[in-house]
Amino acid sequence: MLAGVTERDSSLFATYCSTEALVRAAFIAGEPPPAAYLTELRRMRELLGIAGPRVRQGAKNGVTQTENPFARNGRKV
């Protein structure tokens, strides 16, 4: 819900879960999943707000650099 997902997105989320299950099953079977599945998963993650540039930047869920406990990693303080 923090990503802004609403009840209207439930069908998209169900499709995302089904596609994710197919991709995982292919990996478990030792086969590469179809490239189209991987592309659609990436697209759906971005639409659902669980991946993509805005999530990586922390802009959508309100997390700033000062609130990030890992913001200082790699920097000497």
In DSSP notation, 2-32 reads TT---GGGHHHHHHHHHHHHHHHHHHHTT-P
- pLDDT given at position 77: 58
Give the DSSP H/E element, type plus range, for residue 51.
Answer: none
Query: Cβ(50)–Cβ(3) under 8 Å?
Result: yes
- pLDDT given at position 41: 93
DSSP state of 71: T
- What are the tens digits of pLDDT across the range 5-29? 677 778 888 899 999 999 999 999 9
- Ranked by mean pLDDT, the top range of 26-30, 47-51, 67-71 is 26-30
Say whether pLDDT at 65 is over 70.
no
14, burial (CB in 10 Å: exposed 0-12, middle 13-18, buried 19+): exposed
User: For the whole model, what pTM was predicted?
Assistant: 0.59
